[in-house]
Amino acid sequence: MDWFLFQFFMNSLAVVISFAIFYRQQREFAFYFLIWVCLFITWNIAYSLWKLRVDQAVAEADSKVGGVYSDAISNIFIVKSFAMETHEQARINKASDFVYRKKKKPGH
């Protein structure tokens, strides 16, 4: 949070100083600059919210794969005893394919 606040403060200060300099030199350009900054910030916020949702879905899928792997490894004696290697492999493949699809088609 400290880093974010420091970066936010420094970037805000840079925009304000730039706007002041542009305003003194060429007012029309200063307003174009301000519009560009507003559009850029809006786009970044929208993209960040979308990316957060996608990253959360991928992280949940990764957790499921980790759980499937953990189950398979911790219960390896039972899997071997009942000759369920093919079943466990299919389960792991299904979970891994799910994560792969989440990573390749974000937002779906």
For the chain, give the mean pLDDT.
Answer: 87
Q: What's the whole-number mean pLDDT along residues 17-21?
A: 95
Calculate mean pLDDT across residues 16-33: 95
Q: What is the pLDDT of residue 101?
A: 82
Average of pLDDT values for 25-46? 95
State CA 52 to chain mean position distance. Answer: 4
Residues 56-73: what's their mean pLDDT?
84
Report the interhelical angle of 27-74 vs 85-104 (nearest 10°).
180
Residue recorded with tokens 């980790």 = 66
| Cα atoms in the Cβ-side hemisphere of radius 13 Å centred on 31 | 2
Q: Which of 31-35, 58-62, 77-81, 90-94 has the lowest mean pLDDT?
A: 77-81
Domain ranges of the chain: 2-104
